[in-house]
Structure 1
């Protein structure tokens, strides 16, 4: 049986890894972040990075600081702008491994999960914020079940991540990052369970496990 052709293009190769390494060095130089638990990220196979979300820079910084490239969703508008600004935005988000997602309808949400599944079936890392949006208070909210469903569907290992301080680097109302420090903690991997029926309670139970792990990482820091 042939493998279906991928619908999500993920940047790779020596030039991309060189650029990611340079970005990582610049982050460490400017922000002096505290990063722990990198050994918890499997070096091969599909992985879901499930993190809390405090700032616009979270996806870019997580992808740069992770041992492996992390592919995140980014809103479609970042890829469709016109003129030099639109080109710069599109080039940047493609370069950091993001892919466009349309937001608003149930069909859009389904398509986003399908793209995430595609990335995982390529044996890569897919990054997701189970809360679905950035927090303005720092509190950990209720998780949505998309990460759990993807793990069950693909067998991907889940690595919970706690981020603290990136809201000081770039708050919601800011246009550019500041040289503040921050902390990223990669937690103990959570293996994907085999599919059970009914599916709903299993997805919710796994989601609660993920959110509890994220909250513990944040509280411990």
Structure 2
């Protein structure tokens, strides 16, 4: 599995994941009904994310390339867009040859692990390639490996990974609409990790899904503390 430069977990991913987290995984079995390759699209709270997802989908996507999209603005943005067009072509070619892609499309990384705005590149790649898009919601990885640590601490941190319902596109689809479907699916998955399956669906129906963005009204230290504070010890739930 290939990783983007600077992830720090590319060469020790399997060991780091096994030592660091005890993942609760939901929805992965859906992939059995949708032949690959796949375009996995996920939020990106931590540098642990690519390694974790890669380990989980190994059975369905033995060949996987992970890419993080973090474009700049202004003059640098022009160069980024030119490189982005070439990247879409390269990734489309990989998908055409059976290699799955894990894409983190957030335009910038938050300082507390919350989800930020998505670039439209993932939606465009899905439309262009025609492969199955699989939304992936990651919850708890920021606590397991915050940005100031090089390697995660051992101890089996509680992490939830929810694979949303696969999304299929067709030529002529509007990228913004496909992107909205991806964001909605990931938001629903993040809610499911906290509220349970039924609770998340009920919150969606009531229009009260938890906010996944950064609370700009809170002080920086409090946002980081809330994202990394020790987990509460709770009884094991029968229904997950």
**Cα separation, 1, equivalents of 2:147 and 2:54:** 20
From 50, 53, 63, the equivalent of 1:62 is: 53
**1:19 corresponding residue in structure 2:** none
Q: Do residues 186 (structure 1) and 163 (structure 2) align?
A: yes
TM-score normalised according to structure 2 size: 0.63
Number of equivalenced pairs? 171
Alpha-carbon shift at residue 30 of structure 1 (Å): 4.5
Corresponding residue SS for 2:158: coil
Alpha-carbon shift at residue 160 of structure 1 (Å): 0.4
RCO comparison, higher one (Cα < 8 Å, 6+): 1
Corresponding residue SS for 2:116: coil
**1:218 corresponding residue in structure 2:** 190
Unaligned residue ranges in structure 2 (runs of 5+) = 3-11, 70-77, 194-240
1:62-116 Cα offsets, whole Å, 9 max, x none, are 11111323311269xxxxxxxxxxxxxxxxxxxxxxxxxxx96322222222221
Contact 1:168 1:178 in 2 (8 A): no
Q: Do residues 127 (structure 1) and 121 (structure 2) align?
A: no
Residues 104, 175 of structure 1: alpha-carbon distance in 2 compared, 3 angstrom cutoff: farther
TM-score normalised according to structure 1 size: 0.68
Matched ranges for 1:42-81 at <5 A = 42=32, 44-66=35-57, 67=59, 68-69=61-62, 70-73=64-67
**1:146 corresponding residue in structure 2:** 121
Structure 1 residue ranges, 4+ long, deviating more than 6 angstroms after superposition? none
Alpha carbon RMSD of aligned pairs, Å?
2.7
Residues 125, 45 of structure 1: alpha-carbon distance in 2 compared, 3 angstrom cutoff: same
Alpha-carbon shift at residue 50 of structure 1 (Å): 0.5
Contact 1:131 1:142 in 2 (8 A): yes
**Cα separation, 1, equivalents of 2:15 and 2:112:** 29
From 171, 189, 210, the equivalent of 1:195 is: 171
Alpha-carbon shift at residue 138 of structure 1 (Å): 3.5
Corresponding residue SS for 1:182: strand
Matched ranges for 1:76-115 at <5 A = 105-115=80-90
Residues 185, 208 of structure 1: alpha-carbon distance in 2 compared, 3 angstrom cutoff: same
